[in-house]
Amino acid sequence: MKPIKVGLLGLGTVGTGVVRIVENHQDDLHNQVGSSIEITKILVSNVNKERNIEVDRSKLTEDPWEVVRHPDIDVIIEVMGGTTDTKDYIVEALNLGKNVVTANKDLMALYGSELLEIAQRNGCDVYYEASVAGGIPIIRTLIDGFSSDRVTKIMGIVNGTTNFILTKMTQEGASYDDVLKEAQALGYAEADPTSDVEGLDAARKMTILARLGFHTAVSLDDVSVKGISSVTKEDIQYAKHLGYQLKLLGIAECDENQVSVSVQPTMVKNSHPIASVNGVFNAVLVYGEAVGETMFYGAGAGELPTATSVVADLVAVSKNIKLGISGKRVNTAYKQTVLKTDDQISSKYFLLLKVADRAGVLARITQEFANHEVSLESVLQQPNQNQTHAEIIVITHDASKAAIQNVLSSFNAIDVIHEVKSVYRVEG
């Protein structure tokens, strides 16, 4: 049988893992696909660089077009990252009738809908399982596993760097700055960690998941984003005291075809399954009208977990080629995107207030919540050695985002409230 020939754009961590798996699993791949899979050409930045894997030098090139336009290549695997140039390579490959597998979340978050349309016009596949949550098969699950159900909510930890930082802060009582330095030293965080710690990486992944789960063209601009750089040791301590864990969660919800997508530090009840997801691990919960709550957990990054997802997509694409059904998987955003207003986004909230320590303050605060129709689940005043102020913790019942914003605005006019130190969504 004619082999499936592959062009690989990128030989970094994930690219190296792809080569390892394809070379070491030929018997399994042949059994699943019905023919061998050969990596024919590989794009690298420097053909003379020493690598920790042996690769036939004749397969290496520094010219991306030599890979993309190679006449014998059936599938392009893109693991080089970036968006602008990378998009050009992918579009050219699709227009030449080549199928594409990518691990590029930025590319798919920004241009996914466009690329899928180009692929469909050319009778090609675009598979991108590895773009979200590494080795967890969440994209295939949303497309296939929930095809007969209606997804109402997707919630998860989709960034391992921030989960590592918050886990260390919780377990060791360390400060954000100290743990960030440790994460950088271990290679979990980049020298410029902005994309991770400010929630941008998670926002791109949630854009992809929301599109798939709700069949609507959610864009990155539709995602409300807040990172973890302002999380303090004090916040962590109060969360633990109250029976919560602080996690950076991506939350996408759909009610009657109205959608909201956010990324934000969230207090999660200890009894909730996602509260026990620690370190660099990821977890995604999907709620379906029929199936209820399901949870998917595993390694969210790394050479082999991510490469495993890439090769799983390669197998699926190769099967489609053999069956002559490339480009037949319909996965379009066929519903209009209608975003929820702040009045329609509802959850519990945690607030930490620094207030004057005198009689009547608590009554005035609770009255302000009542004025905006926000009911309170619990109120706790913490003793403070500084007699000039006290700290009050409030956890609300379900309240709209707009109502909470109105409460916070009203606090500005109340002289006994010195500072709103923290506000977090509460789950579980």
333 within some domain: no
Average pLDDT, the chain: 94
Chain position carrying tokens 């980049």: 190
Q: Which residues are catalytic?
A: 205
Residues 62 and 103 in one domain: yes
Give residue 387's pLDDT band: very low, low, confident or very high (50, 70, 90). low
Residues 24 and 119 in one domain: yes
Across 374-392, b (16+ Cβ under 10 Å) vs e yields: beeeeeeeeeeeeeebbbb
Residues 76 and 32 in one domain: yes
Give residue 187's pLDDT band: very low, low, confident or very high (50, 70, 90). confident
Residues 157 and 284 in one domain: yes
- Per-residue pLDDT, averaged over 5-30, amounts to 95
Looking up residue 405, the CATH number of its domain turns out to be 3.30.70.260
Number of domains in the chain: 3
Residues 79 and 144 in one domain: no
Residues 43 and 181 in one domain: no
268 within some domain: yes
Distance CA 213, CA 143 (A): 8
335 within some domain: no
Tell me the sheet residues that pair with 27. Answer: none
339 within some domain: no
329 within some domain: no
Residues 9 and 123 in one domain: yes
Q: What are 233-280's pLDDT values in tens digits?
A: 999 999 999 999 999 999 999 999 999 999 999 999 999 999 999 999
Distance CA 112, CA 211 (A): 10
Looking up residue 259, the CATH number of its domain turns out to be 3.30.360.10
Looking up residue 92, the CATH number of its domain turns out to be 3.40.50.720
Residues 288 and 208 in one domain: yes
Closest by CA position to 301, among listed 145, 183, 181: 183
Q: What are 77-130's pLDDT values in tens digits?
A: 999 999 999 999 999 999 999 999 999 999 999 999 999 999 999 999 999 999
51 within some domain: yes
Q: What is the pLDDT of residue 22?
A: 96
Residues 312 and 413 in one domain: no
267 within some domain: yes
Domain that holds residue 94: 4-132+303-323
Residues 115 and 173 in one domain: no
Q: What is the pLDDT of residue 323?
A: 93
Give residue 311's pLDDT band: very low, low, confident or very high (50, 70, 90). very high
- Pick the last residue of a domain from 260, 289, 323: 323
- Pick the last residue of a domain from 299, 332, 363: 299
Residues 78 and 176 in one domain: no
- Per-residue pLDDT, averaged over 356-378, amounts to 93
Give residue 382's pLDDT band: very low, low, confident or very high (50, 70, 90). confident
Residues 176 and 262 in one domain: yes
Distance CA 325, CA 319 (A): 9
19 within some domain: yes
